[in-house]
Chain A
């Protein structure tokens, strides 16, 4: 007799390793699906996979490149994590990233004279990056809290605005001799890199990993503490899960909307600062290959847990590195789409129990 598929809500607890297993399964499914499509258009998926490994984890130098790409993703992933915990859909990390980078650029370009000590320049850039992002997160937060304006649309529209703002400055006021970029920052505005110490330690030569990764890790610890150990984190989570209960508990939701959007924006802005100070060393076009959007997937893949954001960021940093060189260009974006879809679909396995049972005679 044929067995029958049965789906019922899960009442029993699943073992601790079960969600991880499902997440890995979902990612593998997404990779296989993308591979099939890649093969259909005439690509060689297995070759691409081995290339992917070599280009990302193959040596210390390439692994360092992967970590460099993972660094802004950690910060943006944390930005999304904070907002999403409250079910605030900040899709504007990309714009906050650009504004953070713009504000940080003020320090070496406008505010500080040449010859200012490194620690002052970097310190001011850090503060300005955080401030710029927070300011840009404040706008949609305020509109949401005050006028109930949908934050998905406002944050998204502000992305376009931020990129045009950035364009104006690099094309016009800060343009370096007509090129669409500022002049290279003075050395004092560069985050220290391991390669800078190659003279003392031979192994560091050519290693591009910079101090920004430490910012990312510290931010992850702070956000973890904030979300899981502080009262404010509890308020955020309660508001996200059950706004009605939060209101009865006397939580000031409007204030928290604004604060969370500002914190989220600040983290994304810091990512922008880290990228221009640690990697690009100037403000220019396309300083982000879509970090703001990939951060959304990172946060979701990490199931909104700061520690997991780090691991997911490394995976996606690798994807960005490999995606730069694998044609066609949309491949890594497609893979990202499949991964996100697989992750949210696989959640159903956590909420429901699916089993095959012998069909039972219906009681008449």
Chain B
């Protein structure tokens, strides 16, 4: 088992989760819960692949992925912000709609080959032993964008005025409204931003991390994992990065566990009976649940938690 390969792969697949998770963090910090991440990701993956196929330019594809996710998210915005529909149900419908739309529109894409985004090495940094190999060599450029995104979003949320407005509309929209902040418009904006990042995450899958269009298998539930990671991350982009990369690495580790005939000098039961691998495949999902149990206990102790107005519609002129 090669730890460099495991963590390297973890960073790559974790980047997908990272973009989607950060997007959902921004949306939820604005007080809107969008459970449609999976649908938006799949739309992004389909749109990105499709545009790259017809133009030959994967970067245009990424733009299309971003736009597709963003546009789809506006449907959620309209229904939850203006129609004050239940955010949970609307988010679920967005997943159905996004998945269905992507499957219908992407029906002709299966088995096609597109120009993908080639991995690159970062100069100097990639020469550092181990760390360089894991973090800075042979990665999609989007991985490096991810490294930049995390501190930027953290800084934006915690140290800038627009970031403060964002937190205000998610914690106390009535107070923000009195301050002269346009709650409706900002909520639309952050729903849109979250959708764009989810779409982009989908595009990163189909154009860079594991290129190709495999209908619903393209995202295979990663959007839902991102929703879980948001809670694990306690709405903090730094914790989101740790969670995403660890989760990505873990998946790869479990996959590699089935390879060797002996582990630590013992016969590897997974090698003898491959069907035991089904239990391994349960582990990531069980770990998300475990992380939530630990996370919610911590949240209770430290009084950290969800944005206070998360999931509640804002109606101008009412007391919250």
Chain A residues with CB under 8 Å of chain B are 37-38, 41, 89, 91, 143, 147-150, 152-154, 156-158, 160-161, 164-165, 167-168, 171-172, 293, 296-297, 300, 327-338, 340-341, 344-345, 347-348, 351
Asked if A348 meets B84 with Cβ closer than 8 Å, knowing A153-B227, A164-B281, A340-B93, the reply is yes
Nearest opposing residue in chain A for B220, CB measure = A160
Contact of A328 among B85, B104, B275 (CB under 8 A): B104
Shortest 8 CB-CB distances between A and B: which pairs? Answer: A330-B103, A334-B100, A337-B97, A337-B96, A333-B100, A328-B107, A340-B93, A172-B275
Nearest Cβ on chain B to A20's Cβ, whole angstroms: 19
B101 to A156, Cβ gap below 8 A? no
Chain B residues near A328 (CB, 8 Å)?
103-104, 107
Interface size class of B (residues with CB under 8 A): 35 or more
CB distance from B93 to the nearest CB of A (A): 4
Decide if B207 is an interface residue (CB 8 Å cutoff): no
Which of these, A38, A150, A168, A297, contacts B292 with CB under 8 Å? A150
The answer to whether B99 and A330 touch across the interface, beta carbons within 8 angstroms, is: yes
- Residues of chain B within 8 A (CB-CB) of A337 are 39, 93-101
Contact yes or no, B100 A330, CB < 8 A? yes
Q: Is the CB of B224 within 8 A of A165?
A: no
Alpha-carbon distance A144/B217, docked complex (angstroms): 30
B125 within 8 A of A: no
| Chain B, residue nearest A347 (CB) | B85
A157: chain B residues within 8 A (beta carbon): 224, 228, 285-286, 288-289
Q: Provide a sorted-by-A list of 8 A–B residue pairs whose CB atoms are within 8 angstroms.
A: A147-B293, A152-B35, A160-B282, A167-B278, A329-B215, A330-B100, A334-B103, A337-B93
B102 neighbours in A (Cβ, 8 Å): 330
The answer to whether B96 touches A330 (Cβ under 8 A) is no
- Chain A residues within 8 Å of B227, by CB: 152-153
- Report B-chain residues with C-beta under 8 Å of the C-beta of A156: 224, 228
Say if the beta carbon of B92 comes within 8 Å of chain A: yes
Residue of A nearest to B292 (CB): A149
Indicate if the CB atoms of B96 and A164 lie closer than 8 Å: no
Cα distance, A157 to B105, chains bound together (Å): 28
Q: Which of B253-307 contact A (CB under 8 A)?
A: 273, 275-276, 278-279, 281-282, 285-286, 288-289, 292-293, 296-297, 300
The answer to whether A171 and B97 touch across the interface, beta carbons within 8 angstroms, is no
Majority SS at the chain B contact face:
helix
Binding site for A on B (CB under 8 A): 35, 39, 75, 78-79, 82-86, 88-90, 92-105, 107, 215, 221, 224, 227-228, 231, 273, 275-276, 278-279, 281-282, 285-286, 288-289, 292-293, 296-297, 300
- CB B35 to nearest CB in A, in angstroms, measures 7
Chain A residue at minimum C-beta to C-beta distance from B98 = A337
In the assembly, what is the distance between CA of A148 and CA of B297, in Å?
8
A344 engages B90 (CB within 8 Å): yes
Q: Is the CB of A345 within 8 A of B285?
A: no
Interchain CB contact under 8 A, A153 and B104? no
- Complex interface: chain B residues within 8 A of A332 (CB): 100
Cα separation A336 to B39 with both chains bound (whole Å)? 13
Give Cα A129 to B97, complex, Å.
31
A41 CA / B293 CA spacing, docked (Å): 45
Residue of B nearest to A333 (CB): B100
Evaluate contact between A344 and B83: CB separation under 8 angstroms.
yes
Q: Give every chain A residue within 8 A of B90 (Cβ-Cβ).
A: 341, 344
Q: Are A340 and B103 within 8 A (Cβ)?
A: no
Shortest Cβ gap from A181 to chain B (Å): 14
- A358 and B137 alpha carbons, distance in the complex (Å): 67
Complex: chain A residue closest to B97, CB-CB: A337
